[in-house]
Amino acid sequence: MHLSPLIQAARAAWDSWPEELVGLARYVCDRVQAQDAAEALRILDQMVADVDYRRRTVTQLATQQERPA
C-alpha cells in the first residue's frame, strides 16, 4: 500500500486548519452575540477536541524526531 496519498491529505488538512479554526472562532463569537450559548459551547467543544487531537499528533512527531537515527 502506497502511503503518499494519505500523507498528502494529512498535509493539506494541516495547511487549511488555521483558516478553519478562525472561521469556527468567528462563528462562536456570532453565536454568543446571538445569545445561542448552546451552539457556541458545542462548537467550542469541537474546537477543543480538534486541538487536543492535533496536540497528540505533534507530540508523537516530536517523540519520533528525538529518537536517534
Whole-number average pLDDT of the chain: 90
% the chain with pLDDT above 70? 93
C-beta separation of 13 from 53 below 8 A: no
How does pLDDT run across 15-35, given as a tens digit for each residue? 999 999 999 999 999 999 999
Nearest CA-CA partner of 31 in 20, 21, 19, 43: 43
- Flag whether pLDDT at 41 surpasses 90: yes
d(CA 69, CA 36): 52
pLDDT band at 3 (very low <50, low <70, confident <90, very high): low
Instruction: Give the predicted TM-score (pTM) of the model.
Output: 0.79
- Flag whether pLDDT at 47 surpasses 70: yes
User: Domains of the chain: which residue ranges?
Assistant: 18-63
Per DSSP, the three-state class of 36 is coil
